Chain A
């Protein structure tokens, strides 16, 4: 047995509820940055990525884990009970350090768009990168988000994902304790 296992949320019920609310607000207002606390995930997970996965995953949601984040597998499995998805296409949730190839994940179907995967992407920072202009539901006019660590052709990649609507991948961007969401409905162009 690995003896490096650490605790989950300081307060499991309130912690998960606060995090759920933060994810809900971030999804409803794309571009808005929410801050989460109350959990100390093991390396390489940041506070936000760890909290989101503990909040959203359970024994019914296969989780695909970036091989670079394998050190966090035991912690996630113990606290969430989520099974491991060896094939990204079967995963309901995914954790990636840096933007993965989005076409590898389940995008859902027109009959069942809710079966698509939600990908948690951990980045170095949600500020100070290339500025992206967001439009769409939940944004009155436009919103600006400048996450660092996304590839330069991200707007083009996102355009292909958005073309699948109503199917498509939802992204949750995490950096440290901060998170922002890019639901499939949002339109992205370089600012």
Chain B
């Protein structure tokens, strides 16, 4: 196994939307899909099924890999009627989330729908995720201890 994640790979675009879908919640995806109108029927090829994956980290962020712990992962594979196959792997045990993410992944591969889905599903979900992360970062930032300032106080 390599840890490389090339950003210029042909699947970079698909990777991006799959990541966005995996981080969004089932309700958020469902709400965005409501505005889309008619979507085709799907056949479940596998799952949704729940399993475990070992999450690994690196000591100090760049050192030797170690096993951090197991996380629950739900995966699902669906095929849009007569169309491409969509996959989803999401953390947690939400089967509906995995299925919705797989459905959107299948629809995104249909060139005639991709632009509309990107505009009304992927981009808003990505924006919401960015806001959520920024909020957490801002809250954490407020509690940061400035050791440099403390040293200045003593002198």
Contact = CB atoms under 8 A, between A and B. Distances in A.
Contact of A12 (B49, B77, B79): B49
Interface stretch (B21-29, B40-48, B52-60, B124-132): B40-48
A6 interface: yes
B83 A78 contact: no
A75 B84 CA distance: 15
Contacts of A3: 79, 82-85
A1 B83 CA distance: 11
B85 A8 contact: no
Contacts of A79: 46
Interface residues of A, number: 9
A5 B79 contact: yes
A12 B77 CA distance: 14
A139 interface: no
B44 A5 contact: no
A7 B43 CA distance: 8
Contacts of A8: 45-46
Interface in B56-108: 77, 79, 82-85
Which secondary structure dominates where chain A touches chain B?
loop
A1 B84 contact: yes
A1 B44 contact: no
A93 B13 CA distance: 38
A5 B78 CA distance: 10
B49 A5 contact: no
A33 to B, nearest CB: 30
Contact of A7 (B45, B83, B84): B45
B85 A1 contact: yes
A6 B83 CA distance: 12
Interface in A37-96: 78-79
Interface of A: 1, 3, 5-8, 12, 78-79
23 contacts: A1-B84, A1-B85, A3-B79, A3-B82, A3-B83, A3-B84, A3-B85, A5-B45, A5-B79, A5-B85, A6-B45, A7-B43, A7-B44, A7-B45, A7-B46, A8-B45, A8-B46, A12-B46, A12-B49, A78-B45, A78-B46, A78-B77, A79-B46
Across chains A and B, which 5 residue pairs bring their CB atoms closest together, nearest first? A7-B45, A5-B45, A5-B85, A1-B85, A3-B84
